[in-house]
Structure 1
Amino acid sequence: MDLADTDLPDDIDALKALVRAHAASAHANAQRVAELQDQLSSRTIEIEHLKLTIAKLRRMQFGRKSEKLERQIEQLELRLEDLQTDEGAAAQTDAKKTQPRRESTGRKSLPDHLEREERVHLPIDEHCPGCGGALKPLGEDVSDQLEYVRAHFRVIRHRRPKFACSCCDCIVQAAAASRPIDRGLPGPALLAHIATSKFAYHIPFYRQSVMYARDGVEIEPGTMGHWLGSVTWLLNPLVDAVRRHALGGAKVHGDDTPLPVLAPGNGRTKTGRLWVYVRDDRPSGSPEAPAVWFAYTPDRRGE
């Protein structure tokens, strides 16, 4: 803390006491800085160790023990997320006074396809605050900030006006727009979102129902299941085309993964198999597109 000359006491003993107090305060601050640096260093070492362990487990996760290793990887990633969260919180605590500046990790540039919005921030005063003179441009500082626009529902109302001929009373009306489900409520984007959430992000229907209810849209889990079941025939031609291309390569890589499946009637689960067939000749210089085809069988015979 800076003190003016008028704030300093005239007594020598009081001046010595003031100097000792400032020295003790500076020493305490230095110790605090050292402790925070030690904590940051220890946390950084643990984060790097976790990253190496996760990378090692990922290289080992192919084989009979893959499910067990995947669970271990998930637990380590959760721990890594906690440590990185603590690191971020520590960096915000006394950032200007006690935390050392982190070196740049080579941040990747944002993809070009993202929507961009420019905001120009002009000075409050149009004239020089020092002398009142006119201001002229002298370059600019540009920085990017990544933002997220929350997904939202939209109601599309289709109106088909009817027209009647004044001569012959013929009624003319445009044909109804095509829908994924005949006379169904959901649009194609909603169906794609529900399917992706369930099968790619493993969000079951009942959780999606809760998420949509927060926006005031009530969709029963059974309704979503019926919707996806109703549009499976739309995807069959695409699945068949992927299957023919994936299995038509000179080299096809295949593997199976066991997964528990409910056994109707006895309240237990049985072991089904999810088969994956991969065609990818890009490492050999082939220009043919890679493809992956999945198939499910109730047992390991693969029929």
Structure 2
Amino acid sequence: MLYNSSMLKDLDLIPEDPAELKAVNKLLVEEVKALSLKVEQLQHQLHGANRHRFGSKSETLYQLHLNLAEAVAIAEVAEKQCNPAPLVDKSEKRQHSRKPLPAHLERNDTVLLSSDNCRQCGGTLKQLGADFTEELEYVPGRFVVNRILRPRLSCSCCETVVQVPLPSRPIERGRPGPGLLANVLVGKFCDHLPLYRQSQIFARENFDLDRSTLSDWVGRSSALLEPLADAIGRLVRQGSAVFADDTPVKLQAPGNKKTKRGGPVCLDM
């Protein structure tokens, strides 16, 4: 007895005849093979359709294959969005990114004190704290650090707080002292030492001064050199003529179609 696929739908009881049972088993095996081939064909067609529609590297194909690391990363991002970081208080004291001055340098402390008594009521002043300001100075042959100590004093009677103001410095909020700044300027403009060479010289003293830092100091000190430049200008203009350029140039020689060597340019005053 033969069975086909339509007959299998109506088959509710397993046949008891061994021959019929064998035939049904054979038919089921063939049906499973046919269905497997059909599934492979449909998968191949689906893959071709997806590739034609989305391309060979579609993001939609990879979204279905997220690994554990990607899931953890997505969870962390979602948690950060739900719990934003607290706002930073802008009223906090500004932090400088400067490197601390080396500890091996010699320290010279200078204490600036006001009068011992309060100027308003005459009461005795007591110290509340102090501000330290470090200034890098250069003594010929070595570096030293001048520390300016300005104690904050409070009156015991009227609670007035007194502190001596910081003295004038070559560069406001800068670290170079007048001796160090003068040494850098003299080395650059008088001794013709480029700043990168001065930086190498300072490195031999176990002190790191970058070329950019020296350039900033030279630029800020230009205002300090204006009186010197004005004095040089007045001295130069005292003569009857000013030689602006002593470089020889070639000039046309009329008549012989040649050039001749010209002398320095002279400006009459």
TM bracket, shorter-chain basis:
0.3 to 0.5
Instruction: Give the TM-score of the pair, scaled to structure 2.
Output: 0.38
- Please tell me whether Structure 1 or Structure 2 has the larger radius of gyration of its CA atoms: 2
The structure that is strand-richer by fraction is: 2
Instruction: Give the TM-score of the pair, scaled to structure 1.
Output: 0.34
Q: Which has the higher contact order (CA 8 A, sep 6+)?
A: 2
